[in-house]
Amino acid sequence: MRRQNTRQLAFDWGKAGEARPGPGEGSDQAVAPARAGALATGLMEAVVAGANMRLALRRVKGNKGSPGVDGRTVAQVPEYLEREWPRLKQELLEGTYQPQPVKRVEIPQPGGGKRQLGIPTVVDRLIQQAVLQVLTPLYEPSFSPHSYGFRPGKSAHQAVEAAREYVAEGRGWVVDLDLEKFFDRVNHDVLLSRLARRIGDKRLLRLIRRYLQAGVMLNGVVVAREQGTPQGGPLSQLLANVLLDDWDRELVRRGHCFCRYADDCNIYVRSRRAGERVKASVTRFLERKLRLRVNEEKSAVGRPWQRKFLGFRILRQKETRVSVAAESLQRFKDTIRRITRRNRGVSLERVLQELRTYTEGWVGYFAVARTPSVFQELDGWIRRRLRCYQWKQWKTPRNRAEQLRKTGVGPYLAWGMAYDGPGLWRAARTPALQRALPDAKLVALGYHSVYQKYQSLTAAAG
């Protein structure tokens, strides 16, 4: 215990002659330009300031994450930095620091296919986080209020509510634009030119370029990258907003009503003709000015209730309200089917624990949808799958009959269900199995009702 305390005290970013940070140094406040329109300088000193680096380390540790190509874990980084921080700091201040390649991983996409992510080393994630903390207050005040993705105080729910208000005002058509492989196609020169409008510290611009061009480790070989921003690092989302800020400004200049969340943008208009015209002109702007490509297959002009936005759709009936998109419901059911797969061979309690982990987050996100019947139907469907799962787990007809008898089911019905009853899915809906596994028993075993969670969240939201 004594050794651990000593290590924590030694890891103080103040070794080897480093000056102690002054008041406010290294906080979320970046070095401000001397006058309006001036370039911000001295940013690298703000990045490596002790307080800023300690805050970055806390956030990287809180985010956890996998090791990069060097295999070093988050838990191992403090000890590494005790030895290496003076050297790393000097390289950053001199502009000679070279990031390591990122580790390429693939994750399945909701619509099929796979998305490629790059996992930087933990040290590079730490430096990127420190840069992010300095640049965020420099750029954040000038970002468009119509941009909601990955910004402090902004959320997907705010974007969906703004979209609902546009539709309620009579804008019954939406230009749904999808940027083709946006993070893989970002032009480095275009992005750096946007950054250079605010950043006067050449060392920081050079560091960002090196992060953009850091190679990708594939099968032990480092492959160079000429375009794109590596998804998976803390800095990539801010860089995306910096690049797309020109798009926001152009849409505002044209007087459009729009909501953008990262590279997902919907523009609301009053007619199909206006929508087609906007789609064509915006596509030209993106391709010519920002060198980005619009995915024509996924982009379209349509009704808000026919298109999805951030997993939701906007319904316009007696009142304009938000509903869960059909694709989101399908993905939810697919995940529930995977968790409650009948041949998994794990206990019902384990299944219920996994269900809770998934459904709590899902309902927390989609609770803004004012469609209680959807959550009520999902609740009944999940309970039926759980009864089906338990019926399968009881395996033999004799054991099934005994389990039914223990819950008070009559012998004739119990033996009939066990030996001559319907299939698993139909059996899960019979009165006998509902009596053996009533809703109250499922709750006692650990089931958390999707519908009740939705009700509590909507009641708290007013």
Which tokens sit at 327?
């694709």
Per DSSP, 309 falls in state: B
Per-residue pLDDT at 115 = 65
Tell me what the mean pLDDT of segment 131-136 comes to. Answer: 96
H-helix or E-strand containing 116? strand 114-119
What's the rounded mean pLDDT across residues 378-393? 94
DSSP string, 406-442: HTT--HHHHHHHHHH---HHHHTTSHHHHHHS-HHHH
Calpha distance 85→14 (Å, rounded): 10
Q: What percent of the chain has pLDDT over 90?
A: 65
* CA neighbor of 227 nearest in space, from 264, 271, 180: 180
Q: Given a cut of 80, is residue 4 above it in pLDDT? A: no
Cα-to-chain-centroid distance, residue 374 = 24
Among 117-121, 161-165, 370-374, whose mean pLDDT is lowest? 117-121
Structure confidence by residue, pLDDT tens digits, 331-355: 999 999 999 998 888 899 999 999 9
Q: Is residue 320's pLDDT more than 80? A: yes
pLDDT in tens, 21-79: 333 344 444 454 444 457 888 999 999 999 999 999 999 999 888 888 888 899 999 99
Decide the pairing of beta strands 114-119 and 102-108.
antiparallel
Angle between helices 202-213 and 122-139 (to 10 degrees): 130
* Integer Cα distance of 109 and 88 in angstroms: 37
d(CA 392, CA 421): 13
- Over residues 400-413, the mean pLDDT reads 89
Can you give the pLDDT at residue 344? 87
CA distances from 204 to 31, 70, 75, 111 (A): 13, 24, 27, 37
Least confident among 28-37, 98-107, 248-257, 277-286: 28-37
Q: Is the pLDDT of residue 1 over 80?
A: no
Mean pLDDT (whole number) for 433-460: 92
Q: Exposed, middle or buried by CB within 10 Å (0-12, 13-18, 19+), for 355? A: buried
Predicted confidence band of residue 89 (pLDDT cuts 50, 70, 90): very high
Are 262 and 147 contacting, i.e. CB atoms less than 8 angstroms apart? Answer: no
To the nearest whole number, what is the mean pLDDT of the chain?
86
Q: What is the pLDDT of residue 111?
A: 57
Q: How far is CA 401 from the centre of its chain?
A: 47
Q: For residue 106, what pLDDT is reported?
A: 67
Tell me how long the chain is: 462
Report the distance separating Cα 120 and Cα 56, nearest Å: 15
More confident residue, 128 or 461: 128
Rounded Cα gap, residues 457 and 454, in angstroms: 5
Could you give the angle at the alpha carbon of 60 between the alpha carbons of 3 and 364, nearest 5°?
A: 125
Q: Which of 18-27, 100-109, 203-212 has the highest mean pLDDT?
A: 203-212
Q: Supply the pTM of this predicted model.
A: 0.84
Cα separation of 401 and 414, whole Å? 5
Share of the chain above pLDDT 70, in %: 86
Q: Where are the alpha helices (DSSP H) in 95-174?
A: 122-139, 156-168
pLDDT attached to residue 34? 43
Confidence at residue 202, expressed as pLDDT on a 0 to 100 scale: 94
According to the model, what pLDDT value does residue 453 have? 94
Residue 281 backbone dihedrals phi, psi, to 5 degrees: -70, -40
pLDDT in tens, 392-402: 999 999 999 99
**CA 300/CA 16 separation, integer angstroms:** 59
